[in-house]
Amino acid sequence: MHRRSLFMGVPAALVANLVSSRRGLTSTSALTTPQPLAAPNPLRHGSRIRAVNTGTWIDPRTDFLPLVERCKAEGWQLELPASLHRKWKWFSGTDAERRVDLEAAWSDPRIEAIFYIGAGWGSARVLEAGFNFSRRSLWSIGFSDSCSLLLAQWAAGSRGAIHGSIAGPDAQWQRTVDLLTARSVAPITGRGIIAGIAVGPLVVTNLTVATHLIGTPWFPDLRGTLLVFEDIGEAPYRVDRMLTQWRSVGLFKDVIGLAIGRFNWQGEEEPGDFSMSAIIKERLSDLGVPLVIDLPVGHGQPNLSLPLGANACLDGKNGSLMLLP
């Protein structure tokens, strides 16, 4: 029998107790300060979404019409403020301006979701500039640089952060729509490296962005979580350096499962050096938890959406990651 099918219809809490006993943790053991809020309401016809750019400035010729049409097809109203095209140095406005943009979106009760537009660098500076999350749950979608905001939102106890892209092929977009409307989505599959099954809340992030949040108030509690990494443009030795930092600080100690998405790097590898997959396996295979690599997550296509905080099951034997009810 396919191992994943063993858990169909079984309550998530029971599965967690069964598969997490190795550490004496259940899937709900993590992130208790502050207590996470309830998930935001599913988007519906007439829901309002605001696009916000907290990172690097974007080309003023960027065509948002395809995204507008996609939202319109779902009955959603996408707001595209003029500030999306603002420019200051390499940012889309000063830190204060970008903080105000984000505060305006979060404080507007009519807004039910935020689309993080753009990438590059800058979102962590908005946090440093004093942005605080309102005590409510709100859908927010992004990846890469905006991972700092996704992690900080989850650390603040707010639900609704989704690691994913609002661009890309129709099937990728449909998965995001399904998550925003509380419909089930298919499991995603990579390559199993270390066998085992773990159940717990997902934390999905860019490795570089998360590494630079270590020690800040915006870094979430990882105890009892399934941790998913992705990255781009980092040489294997840099990935080695970052993973060594995580190991040295002890951040993997109470993580119950690890999964790796896409790590895009186009540089040359010297003969005898670690390849990207080799250094990832060398740094993560001895932690005593299930390990899956090559998930379709991160920079590139497809970049399949995963919600932070969602209860999920990671199967290190068949390489699957499945969201649970």
What CATH number is given to the structural domain containing 126?
A: 3.40.50.10740
Pairing of strands 139-142, 161-163: parallel
Q: What's the pLDDT at 202?
A: 98
Residue 192 lies in a domain: yes
Contact between 202 and 228 under an 8 Å Cβ cutoff? The reply is: yes
Residue 81 lies in a domain: yes
In this prediction the pTM is 0.89
Q: What's the total number of domains in the chain? A: 2
Instruction: List the CATH number of the domain containing 23.
Output: 3.50.30.60
Residue 141 lies in a domain: yes
Helix axes 276-284, 236-249, angle to 10 degrees: 10
Q: What's the pLDDT at 10?
A: 36
Are 154 and 220 part of one and the same domain?
no
Q: What's the pLDDT at 29?
A: 34
Are 193 and 308 part of one and the same domain?
yes
The encoded tokens of residue 186 equal: 């298919």
Where in the sequence is the domain holding 154, given as residue range(s)? 48-163
Are 116 and 198 part of one and the same domain?
no
CA nearest to 201, candidates 3, 4, 6, 32: 32
Are 192 and 313 part of one and the same domain?
yes
Residue 261 lies in a domain: yes
Q: What's the pLDDT at 14?
A: 36
Residue 42 lies in a domain: no
Are 104 and 200 part of one and the same domain?
no
Q: In the listed set 129, 163, 197, which residue is the last one of a domain according to the structure?
A: 163
Are 75 and 9 part of one and the same domain?
no
Are 158 and 206 part of one and the same domain?
no
Are 294 and 196 part of one and the same domain?
yes
Are 230 and 311 part of one and the same domain?
yes
Query: What secondary structure, in 3-state letters, does the chain show?
Result: CCHHHHHCCCCHHHHHHHHCCCCCCCCCCCCCCCCCCCCCCCCCCCCEEEEECCCECCCCCCCCHHHHHHHHHCCCEEECCHHHHCCECCECCCHHHHHHHHHHHHHCCCEEEEEECCCCCCHHHHHHCCCCCCCCCCEEEECHHHHHHHHHHHHCCCCCEEECCCCCCHHHHHHHHHHHCCCCCCCEECEEEECCEEEEEEEEEEHHHHHCCCCCCCCCCCCCCEEEEEEECCCHHHHHHHHHHHHHHCCCCCCCEEEEEEEECCCCCCCCCCCHHHHHHHHHCCCCCCEEECCCCCCCCCCCCEECCCEEEEECCCCEEEECC
Q: What's the pLDDT at 308?
A: 98
Residue 133 lies in a domain: yes
Are 200 and 311 part of one and the same domain?
yes
- Catalytic residue numbers read 144, 230, 299
Q: What's the pLDDT at 289?
A: 98
Residue 118 lies in a domain: yes
Q: What's the pLDDT at 12?
A: 39
Contact between 312 and 201 under an 8 Å Cβ cutoff? The reply is: yes
Are 12 and 63 part of one and the same domain?
no
Q: What's the pLDDT at 32?
A: 44
Are 158 and 230 part of one and the same domain?
no
Residue 181 lies in a domain: no
**Cα 13 to Cα 222: distance, rounded to the nearest angstrom:** 18
Q: In the listed set 112, 147, 163, which residue is the last one of a domain according to the structure?
A: 163
pLDDT along the chain (325 residues), means of 10: 32 39 35 76 98 96 96 98 96 98 98 94 98 95 98 97 96 98 98 98 98 98 98 96 98 98 84 90 98 97 97 98 97
